């Protein structure tokens, strides 16, 4: 059973195995006195402190109440390795908690209920039986009386004597047999003779209710009871006597001179009970302790009404009932000292969800405020709760039995537990746990990079497992295995965005290139293309988004966008590509994980490419002086097609088959087209210097209307306005003669 944390408990848990050195104690005391420690979280079973050493990183100290003690953890030990002594941060935290508790008194009912839970004690069932009397000449009975040792020791000291009651002349014994409750009155009236019987007299004294077997048994017990010739039983024999021989016998409380009352013996185990009712005057609950003995319900509202007869095992007298009750006398005294506990409405949920399932393991819970259900609840599901401790990611598994959730970190839970309904905590379900399946599920967590932490039932990541790898890689696998994941949205340091990335492309059409302005979106969060590229260069699998969360870079998606990224040039968040990649970009815009927009020119250019089925036939321009062969005419058609489609292209063939002639014919057609539109334009022809003269000569022969300007020598001008309107006549020299001409 976990205990509420208090300063003494913290000190015993922290110092028992690793007490502080004198240096650490003095350093911790200085931290406390100078106000460098504060309480960050204070709950009944968990306390966190933040220590702020001057000029050093912040330190976190955590205390957790466990079933077997107190877990103490300091982050300074985590960073520097295992420590053998309690550090100064732990000392400062304990001193701070002492002041905190003095200023913040704990809730009393929690402490009271904590003390009332006995480890290892289960509630018992009740089986009561009774016997009758036989027709004899006397009544055989037993007398339970206190001894003089009680005043000397202060502990219960009782003895039991065997007695015979003889009827007087004025009252027939048969009448007494009909109403044993009248015996005390009969004894006080003086109409009965009572004799304490010794071992030798038992067999000679006939009585209505003792047969020969009983008399032989009593004679034997006389010899072993320690009473010598007298028939009486002391503490060590009382349990044997009560549990074996008293269920069908007459037992009276009193002395040989004064019999007080007849006592009913219940040889079965009685049980402690808690009755829970609605508060009669205001919202909330009222707890009342009881003892259920046979058919009787005894209220523990007065310590004097519960008298111990012997303690090991416990036999008690309350009113007219002698019963066995395996309970710590201190627990009974505790309940008797506070026979009624009031629980406020805002604390009711804590009582019913945490305390009652544990109290139900030892107490019978009764009352109209709680409904119980014992219908079987199979193990139906498994959950993982994610949370952060400092800068560490933690995982807590919980098992689902129908609608009920069981946390294995609670060491008090056994095979059978009582669980409040998640929506109505006054409705409590009895659950028999499937411990084998729970253990198998818990063991499987280690295959996903988890290991047991210092806190039982809480898992930490293995040393080589990064939190983002676990969240983005292992968690989806756990979901496939049937785990429900909770708490992910509450993470602050390790926030992940599980949306798939979408590349948003805005494509514009340039003269010779495509310009792509882009970013990447994970749901509603964005990240720039430059950050994506930086992460890829570092071979990272995750990228930080604008909202601070982390997004995964799936390998398949990365390979897809790299088809475009590797072909272009990037400038911050812009990408430039050749127009030759128009179809690739267009296909990329239609892929999953990519969304794109483009201007009208881009789509026109794309459509021209897509609509390409054949190359149209064109006429030879009128200004061209020559005749083309069929294959040369096909070359002209090809060049016109590239020009009209605004494509780049290549005219390739063997040497000497007229590629120059085809090109001059094409340039002549362009010149005529421009003149018709009254839009004269210049074409640039790039060739080796050794062929410049040949181009001039061939142009003059086949395309005399073309104006040629050689622009190749070192004196060429940089100002286009210096260009003459037409070029000089070509020379017959094998090498062109440099002419001072303006340079482009």
Read off the pLDDT of residues 574-621 as tens digits, 9 standing for 90 and up: 888 887 788 888 888 888 888 888 888 888 888 877 777 778 899 999
Question: In the prediction, which pLDDT does 124 show?
Answer: 45
Query: Looking at residue 682, what is its pLDDT?
Result: 81
Residue 736: per-residue pLDDT: 46
Most confident of 103-112, 122-131, 563-572: 563-572
253 Cβ contact partners less than 8 Å away, ≥ 6 residues apart? 143, 144, 145, 259, 260, 261, 262, 263, 317
Q: How far apart are CA 577 and CA 515, in angstroms?
A: 6
Q: How far apart are CA 13 and CA 94, in angstroms?
A: 11
Q: Is the pLDDT of residue 691 over 50?
A: yes
Instruction: Please report where in the chains the tokens 């080589």 appear, as a residue.
Output: 464
Q: In this structure, how many other beta carbons lie within 10 angstroms of the beta carbon of residue 176?
A: 21
Q: Which of 94, 107, 89 is nearest to 7 (CA)?
A: 94
Pair 400, 502: CB distance under 8 Å? no
Which pLDDT score is estimated for 191? 62
Dist CA 48 CA 40 (whole Å): 5
* C-alpha distances in Å from residue 326, one per residue of 124, 332, 610: 9, 10, 92
Nearest to 383 by CA among 366, 369, 395, 368: 395
pLDDT tens digits for range 444-489: 999 999 998 877 788 999 988 889 889 988 999 999 999 999 998 8
Q: How far apart are CA 474 and CA 386, in angstroms?
A: 13
Percent of the chain at pLDDT above 70?
Answer: 74
- Measured CA to CA, the distance from residue 472 to residue 490 in angstroms comes to 16
| pLDDT at residue 395, as a whole number | 93
| Cα distance between residue 526 and residue 501, in whole Å | 9
Q: Is pLDDT of 231 > 70?
A: no
How far lies 50's CA from each of 38, 39, 458, in Å? 6, 7, 22
Output 612 or 234, whichever has higher pLDDT: 612
SS3 content of the chain, % helix, strand, coil (to 5): 35, 30, 40
Quick one: pLDDT at residue 695?
92
Length of the chain as a residue count:
744
With a pLDDT cut of 90, the percent of the chain lying above it is 14
Q: What is the pLDDT of residues 322-357, one digit of tens each?
A: 888 877 777 887 887 788 888 888 888 888 877 887
Q: Is the pLDDT of residue 742 over 60?
A: no
pLDDT number for residue 454: 73
**Average pLDDT over all residues of the chain:** 78
pLDDT band at 421 (very low <50, low <70, confident <90, very high): confident
Neighbours of 670 (CB within 10 A): 16
Is the pTM of the predicted complex or chain greater than 0.85?
no
pLDDT of 438 above 70 = yes
d(CA 306, CA 300): 8
Residue 26 is given by DSSP the state: H
Q: What is the pLDDT of residues 31-86, one digit of tens each?
A: 988 899 999 988 877 889 999 998 888 999 988 887 677 888 888 865 454 445 67
CB contact at 8 A, 553 and 535: yes
Encode pLDDT of 164-197 as tens digits: 666 554 445 566 656 666 666 666 666 666 666 6
Q: Could you give the CA distance from residue 463 to residue 392 in angstroms, rounded to a whole number?
A: 11
pLDDT in tens, 494-507: 888 888 898 888 88
Residue 424 bridge partners (DSSP): none
Highest mean pLDDT among 204-208, 299-303, 545-549: 545-549
Give 727 or 224, the one with higher predicted confidence.
224
**Contact indicator for 337, 329 with CB cutoff of 8 Å:** no
For residues 223 and 229, give the distance between their C-alpha atoms in angstroms, rounded to a whole number.
Answer: 7
Answer with the residue of higher pLDDT: 395 or 535: 395
Which pLDDT does position 633 carry in this prediction?
92
């Amino acid at each position: 059973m976990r205990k509420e944390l208090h300063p003494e408990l913290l000190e015993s848990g922290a110092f028992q195995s690793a007490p502080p050195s004198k240096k650490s104690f003095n350093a911790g005391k200085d931290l406390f006195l100078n106000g460098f420690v504060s309480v960050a979280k204070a709950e009944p079973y968990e306390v966190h402190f933040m220590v702020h050493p001057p000029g050093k990183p912040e330190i976190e100290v955590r205390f957790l109440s466990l079933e077997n003690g107190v877990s103490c953890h300091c982050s300074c030990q985590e960073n520097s390795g295992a420590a053998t002594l309690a550090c100064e941060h732990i000392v400062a935290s304990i001193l701070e908690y002492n002041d905190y508790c003095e200023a913040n008194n704990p809730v009393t009912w929690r402490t009271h209920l904590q003390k009332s839970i006995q480890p290892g004690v289960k509630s018992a069932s009740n089986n009561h039986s009774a016997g009758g009397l036989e027709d004899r000449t006397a009544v055989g009975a037993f007398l339970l009386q206190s001894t003089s040792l009680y005043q000397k020791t202060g502990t219960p000291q009782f003895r039991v004597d065997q007695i015979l009651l003889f009827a007087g002349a004025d009252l027939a014994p048969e009448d007494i047999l009909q109403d044993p409750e009248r015996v005390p009155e009969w004894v006080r009236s003086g109409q009965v003779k009572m004799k304490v019987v010794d071992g030798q007299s038992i067999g000679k004294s006939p009585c209505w209710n003792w047969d020969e077997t009983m008399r032989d048994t009593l004679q034997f017990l006389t010899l072993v009871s320690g009473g010598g010739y007298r028939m009486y039983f002391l503490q060590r024999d009382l349990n044997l006597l009560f549990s074996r021989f008293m269920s069908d016998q007459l037992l009276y409380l009193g002395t040989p001179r004064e019999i007080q009352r007849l006592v009913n013996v219940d040889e079965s185990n009685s049980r402690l009970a808690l009755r829970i009712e609605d508060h009669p005057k205001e919202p909330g609950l009222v707890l009342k302790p009881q003892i259920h003995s046979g058919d009787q319900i005894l209220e523990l509202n007065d310590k004097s009404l519960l008298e111990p007869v012997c303690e090991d095992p416990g036999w008690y007298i309350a009113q007219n009932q002698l019963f066995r009750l395996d309970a710590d006398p201190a627990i009974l005294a505790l309940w008797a000292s506070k026979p009624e506990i009031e629980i406020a409405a805002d604390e009711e949920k804590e009582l019913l969800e945490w305390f009652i399932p544990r109290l139900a393991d030892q107490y019978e819970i009764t009352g109209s405020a709680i409904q119980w259900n014992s219908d079987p609840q199979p193990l139906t599901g498994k959950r993982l709760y994610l949370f952060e401790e400092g800068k560490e990611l933690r995982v807590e598994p919980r098992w689902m039995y129908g609608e009920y959730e069981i946390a294995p970190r609670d060491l008090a839970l056994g095979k059978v537990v009582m669980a409040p309904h998640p929506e109505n905590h006054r409705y409590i379900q009895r659950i028999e746990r499937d411990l084998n399946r729970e253990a198998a599920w818990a063991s499987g967590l280690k295959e996903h990079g988890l290991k047991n932490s210092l806190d039982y039932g809480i898992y930490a990541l293995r040393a080589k497992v990064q939190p983002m790898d676990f969240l983005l890689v292992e968690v989806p696998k756990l979901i496939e295995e049937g785990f429900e994941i909770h708490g992910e949205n509450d993470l602050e340091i390790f926030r992940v965005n599980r949306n798939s990335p979408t590349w948003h492309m805005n494509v514009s059409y340039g003269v010779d290139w495509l310009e792509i302005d882009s970013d990447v979106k994970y749901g509603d969060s964005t990240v720039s293309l430059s950050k994506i590229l930086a992460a890829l260069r570092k071979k990272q699998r995750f990228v930080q988004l604008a909202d601070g969360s982390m997004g995964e870079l799936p390998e398949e998606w990365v390979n897809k966008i790299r088809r475009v990224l590797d072909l272009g040039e990037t400038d911050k968040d812009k990408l430039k590509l050749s127009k030759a990649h128009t179809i690739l970009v267009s296909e990329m815009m239609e892929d999953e994980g990519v969304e794109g927009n483009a201007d009208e020119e881009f789509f026109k250019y794309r459509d021209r490419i897509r609509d390409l089925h054949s190359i149209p036939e064109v006429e030879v321009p009128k200004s061209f002086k020559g005749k083309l062969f069929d294959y040369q005419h096909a070359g002209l058609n090809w060049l016109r097609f590239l020009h009209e489609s605004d494509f780049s292209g290549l005219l390739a063939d063997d040497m000497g088959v007229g590629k120059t002639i085809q090109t001059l014919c094409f340039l002549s057609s362009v010149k005529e087209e421009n003149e018709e539109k009254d839009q004269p334009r210049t074409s640039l022809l790039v060739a080796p210097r050794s062929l410049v003269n040949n181009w001039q000569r061939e142009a003059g022969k086949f395309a005399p209307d073309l104006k040629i300007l050689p622009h190749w020598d070192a004196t060429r001008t940089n100002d286009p306005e210096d260009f003459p309107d037409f070029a000089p006549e070509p020379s017959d020299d094998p090498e062109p003669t440099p002419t001072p001409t303006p340079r482009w």
